[in-house]
Chains A and B, each alone.
Chain A
Amino acid sequence: MSNDNFIIYEEEIAQIETLISKMLKGCEAKCALLVDKDGHLITRQGFTHSLDTTALAALLAGSFASTKEIAKLVGEPEFSVLFHQGKKDHIHMSLVGDRSILVVVFDDRTTIGMVRLYAKETAQELAKIFQEIADNKDSKGQGTGIDSNFADMAQNKLDDIFSD
């Protein structure tokens, strides 16, 4: 596993969001999240106002990770699609490349078949984008948003916040 920082730039996010919103339009789902397997939210689209997306991302990544272990126990390397069915709302998760998860939240205005169809297509497109980004990484160099005084400034903030 890579120990590099996970960096994603606006142009990539723009591409990704265009794809995801196209998918949302197509399958008429409520919202979609793109989550890193580590539990970080990469981006979200659609009607996410009422959702605690940070917690959702962490829990979904946890859920995906635990089913991966279940898969191993039955001799599969990984389950690439997960589906949670509720009374009104349902969640469809599918693997994107080898490190992200596309999560689609939908209700009875659409069907699981539609979501599955569009999510599969979108996941393939997203995987291509991620692959391109990974391929370009070495030739394009590396930068972070963390400069030399970031840690010091964070420390000052922490002193303010974490006071007994």
Chain B
Amino acid sequence: MVAINYSSREVCCKIVYYGPGLSGKTTNLQYVHSKVPQDTRGKLISLATEADRTLYFDFLPINIGTINGFAAKFQLYTVPGQVYYNATRKLVLRGVDGLVFVADSQPDKMDENIESLSNLEENLREYGYDPETMPLVIQYNKRDLPGVLSVEELNRRLNPQVRPHFEASATIGNGVFDTLKLIIKIVLEKAKNSGGQRAPVSIKAQQTETVDQPVAVARTQPQPAPVGVASGSAAADSGYRPFPGTKTTIKEEPKISPAGFTPAPGPESETPIEQKVPEMAQTSEGNGSTDLSRPAMAPSLRRRADRKKRGFFKRLFGKK
């Protein structure tokens, strides 16, 4: 699902490059990384083995700029292609918005392509996604090699639903941008259709900067609400408060035994916990959640600890 953050005014989509091992998924990302302007892209992160085979994923964030007041961001991921990495491959698919299937056009790789495609379908279904409606663009890669299969043949074997497809040579960059542009377009079209008709809210100052305040500043303000202060019509428009969390109820975290939080006799945690526990205990009482597994502290000790704490902050920050 597309992530839309009204606070930092971002629309964020996750696009995953899928396909058999050595079909050119990482090469696609490397080409994009090498060609797009530096201010548009982030750092390309590769979690790869020493032999440069993807172990977990490659990650490339792209920010194409502001559209209608929203920064459009895309996170490009690749999966490890080898069959035995299915566990990690599946993890990368979580929350995917659009897929690029990178197929190897060489005749002897056809079986691997088919296997990978059916594995993709299986993994999508396990997450509850419908492979039929998931935005997917197929890229027939390595078209520059001699003896590759014809596009008709590839379409017949890999693309019976006639999905959009491109011929590509990722090493020299042919078709890489065409594929990416199309999948982004399909993803945004789908996001638009799945949403309502609400017009975007008026634009306030970019909030991401204020969020970035150093801790020291935040400490001097008892209730820092950098975003809430400037919250525009989105906040006022309380008619919309959707949050597309799954309807399943949030799981209760398993209770951790009180021993986990008692000031252990260990030398490092003794003093600070003695100082801090009372404040937290009071907070939780105020909120009615008194069942927190934490020892209560005698009122006299609590007052003492509070005094200590005030003194500590005074020393740290000077006068308030």
Contacts and interface: CB of A to CB of B under 8 A. Distances in A.
Given A13-B7, A14-B227, 6 more contacts: A4-B1, A11-B235, A142-B198, A150-B11, A150-B192, A162-B35
B292 interface: yes
A125 B128 CA distance: 29
Contact of B75 (A39, A66, A141, A162): A39
B284 A98 contact: no
A75 interface: no
A127 B289 CA distance: 13
B300 interface: no
A69 B85 CA distance: 13
Given A7-B6, A131-B250, A58 B75 contact: yes
Given A17-B224, A42-B5, A140-B241, A145 B70 contact: yes
Nearest to A15: B228
Contact of A1 (B42, B128, B279): B128
B8 interface: yes
Interface residues of B, number: 117
By Cβ-Cβ distance, the 6 closest A-B pairs, closest first, are: A14-B228, A38-B95, A143-B198, A144-B195, A4-B244, A133-B243
Interface centre among A8, A97, A133, A153 (most CB of B within 10 A): A8
Interface residues of A, number: 95
Contact of A12 (B241, B260, B287): B241
Interface string B240-251: 111111111111
B65 interface: yes
A6 B245 CA distance: 7
A62 B194 contact: no
Given A7-B4, A133-B245, A146-B2, A155 B231 contact: no
Contacts, number: 345
Interface of A: 1-15, 17-18, 21, 24-31, 36-40, 42-49, 52, 54-55, 58-59, 62, 65-66, 69, 80, 95, 97-99, 110-114, 116-118, 120-121, 123-125, 127, 130-131, 133-134, 136-137, 140-151, 153-155, 157-159, 161-164
B253 A47 contact: no
Contacts of B11: 145-146, 150
Given A69-B91, A134-B243, A140-B242, A14 B253 contact: no
A17 B184 CA distance: 31
B269 A114 contact: yes
B312 to A, nearest CB: 10
Contact of A144 (B42, B67, B192, B250): B192
Contact of A136 (B226, B241, B294): B241
B273 A113 contact: yes
A113 to B, nearest CB: 4
B208 to A, nearest CB: 9
A117 B284 contact: no
A10 B7 contact: yes
9 contacts: A7-B244, A17-B211, A40-B95, A125-B287, A137-B244, A142-B198, A142-B244, A143-B240, A150-B68
B242 A141 contact: yes
Contact of A137 (B4, B199, B226, B243): B243
